[in-house]
Amino acid sequence: MYWTLELASKLEDAPWPATREELLDYAQRTGAPMEVIENLRELEVEDEGDPYESIEDLWPDYPTKDDFFFQEDEY
């Protein structure tokens, strides 16, 4: 399983918190790339009942707005 910024961004608008099955359903309905669906299928099946709170639960290194040095209030 690997994530890139482009792949992970396909799940930004997912209905968080969501279970593995809900994320798979969302990815398929929104036409996410096959790599996203394959990554979701590789998630631990035994965690199926536990919802993921955000994309950071799937990819802990997912960059947030705080990771960028762009100051919105300056513009």
In this structure, are residues 54 and 11 in contact, taking their beta carbons and an 8 Å threshold? no
In this structure, are residues 73 and 65 in contact, taking their beta carbons and an 8 Å threshold? no
Cα-to-chain-centroid distance, residue 42: 13
pTM of the model: 0.78
Task: Read off the pLDDT of residues 9-21 as tens digits, 9 standing for 90 and up.
Answer: 899 899 999 999 9
Task: Read off the pLDDT of residues 28-61 as tens digits, 9 standing for 90 and up.
Answer: 999 999 999 999 999 876 665 789 999 888 888 8
